[in-house]
Amino acid sequence: MNRIEGKVVAITGASSGIGEATAAHLAERGAIVVLGARRKERLVALAERIAAGGGKASYRVTDVKKRDDVTRLAQLAVERYGKLDVLISNAGIAPISPLDDLKVEDWEEMIDVNVKGVLYGIAAGLPIFRRQGFGHFIQTLSTAGLRIVPTMAVYAGSKNAVRAISEGLRQEAGEKLRVTTISPGYVRTELSPSMPAMAIPPTAIAEAIAFAIGQPDNVDVGEIVVRPTAQA
């Protein structure tokens, strides 16, 4: 049974990497995808590619640092397709550096995108999900939050903040809503172009996300970790 077909899925950070791969994969499985990212030309190209393959896609330029942008992305799904089944908060940045470098602006940017961007997604999606009586939040985390290493303290902290928020959300959500976090390891994306040779393709993460979405409504996949076999 294809439990993904017909679901309306909004995705932030959809213009490249994991977001782009997830949008394409879900559309192939019959989902209707609503794409959000800052780069309009990339969104247009992805939506056209999905449509050319027989899928359905809409887009809205979205900066997750702006609450109104995220709200409008979720509203687009409801206005155009009558519902929102899944909201994937995938947008993220990782300007890593030693704490001694005092790159405070980078720290603030990570909090704004990686943490507040997810909170804006919850604020946008939760009222819709409550009204519908169903909905699924998926947040993209990182294995950097599971194994803390030098230069990645703030990035790991931002991802672990979302891990804690998501667990609290899961417990508050009740039996009608689902909450999933996914922690990728080394993945070949624009976020980290210097990834080691062991890095896996973003399609591996897309397939894991599809697995969580495709479960029966009463099954909540809480957390998925996907990493290369060679990663420590």
Active site residue 186: no
Question: Smallest Cα–Cα separation from 85: which of 141, 46, 129, 41?
Answer: 129
Residue 184's DSSP bridge partners are 226
Residue among 59, 81, 120, 155 flagged as catalytic: 155
Buried b (16+ CB within 10 A) or exposed e, 102-126: ebeebbebbbbbbbbbbbbbbebbb
Phi-psi region at 82: left, alpha or beta (left = phi > 0; alpha = psi -120 to 50): left
Contact indicator for 70, 124 with CB cutoff of 8 Å: yes
Q: Which residues are catalytic?
A: 155
